[in-house]
Amino acid sequence: MSKHQAARREQRASAATADFTRAQIADAIDRAVRDVTGTDGVGHCAIYALAGAVVANIVTGDEYLPQAGKLVVAASTGTDDGGDYTDYMEMDPVAGRADGHNRDGQNSEFHAWAVRVPRRARQGELYVLGDDDVLMDLSFHHMPLWAQRFREDWWQRSDWPPYFWGTVRELRALDVQLQTDEQTTAEMLAHPGNSDLTFLVAKAAMGLLHLPAAGG
């Protein structure tokens, strides 16, 4: 083992013992994204996922992998002549590619999150998440804002958390579906602008948590 690897492992083990709540980590990532980008963070779900995975890996000692793909979320419910209904908001990268939705060389019609690699999974092995596996979506609080951009009165839910960090079963209970798209994930990971922002946001978030900067 190299000195760099040994130092990184020691840093990771030390950080993993710190008593940080998921809320503190989510808040640090959100503040860092807004500070680094100079925006409200909306539209930067990729950076939330990428930098969130970096920080979660260090702080929790678990392995988180960023993913991107399709989002389907219940935005509102109601009743009409046909009875009760649920109105869903959707971001679909497959449809986005077909419609030519592109921003800065990257499909703009997608959502991003991170998954905790199940301990049962072997390195390099493809796996399917089960009900008790963990997802981390730190840009969850942007969904009402996205819905309102399409239609002001679309979002009518009052039960919405500021972030999601829980099991697949808990996500389903919120009437949210996430489906990984391999091409979109690869594009997100390869995009040079995402790499630069990920480093800056992760570094800033680690500073907010009073921990040594990631990679530093």
The alpha carbon of 208 is separated from its chain's Cα centroid by a whole number of angstroms, namely 19
> Is 38 part of any domain?
yes
Give the helix ranges, DSSP H, for 38-181. 45-60, 93-99, 143-150, 168-173
Mean pLDDT for 106-133 is 75
Cα–Cα distance for residue pair 135/108, rounded to 1 Å: 22
> Is 53 part of any domain?
yes
Could you tell me the pLDDT band of residue 111, with boundaries at 50, 70 and 90?
A: very high
The percentage of the chain sitting over the pLDDT mark of 90, rounded to a whole number, equals: 53
**Beta strand extents in 55-157 (DSSP E only):** 64-80, 83-91, 102-103, 106-107, 111-116, 134-137
Cα–Cα distance for residue pair 89/86, rounded to 1 Å: 10
Query: What CATH number corresponds to the domain at position 164?
Result: 3.10.550
CA 10 → CA 79, 100, 201, distances in Å?
A: 57, 46, 22
**CB-CB contact of 191 with 106 (8 Å):** yes
Least confident of 48-57, 93-102, 105-114, 187-196: 93-102
- For position 169, what pLDDT does the model report? 95
Count of CB atoms within 10 A of residue 12's CB? 14
- 211 versus 32: the higher-pLDDT residue is 32
> Is 3 part of any domain?
no
79-109 residue pLDDT tens: 777 778 788 999 999 886 655 555 444 445 8
Q: Residue 192 above 80 pLDDT?
A: yes
Cα–Cα distance for residue pair 203/195, rounded to 1 Å: 12
> Is 7 part of any domain?
no
- For position 20, what pLDDT does the model report? 83
- For position 128, what pLDDT does the model report? 65
Closest-CA residue to 201 (of 88, 67, 44): 44
Number of domains in the chain: 1
Mean pLDDT for 12-37 is 80
- For position 158, what pLDDT does the model report? 87
Q: Residue 4 above 80 pLDDT?
A: no
> Is 41 part of any domain?
yes
> Is 216 part of any domain?
no
Least confident of 13-22, 51-60, 134-143, 202-211: 13-22
Give the residue numbers spanning the domain of 123.
19-208
Give the helix ranges, DSSP H, for the chain. 3-16, 22-37, 45-60, 93-99, 143-150, 168-173, 182-190, 192-208
> Is 13 part of any domain?
no
Count of CB atoms within 10 A of residue 140's CB? 23
Supply the pTM of this predicted model: 0.83
- For position 28, what pLDDT does the model report? 97
> Is 155 part of any domain?
yes
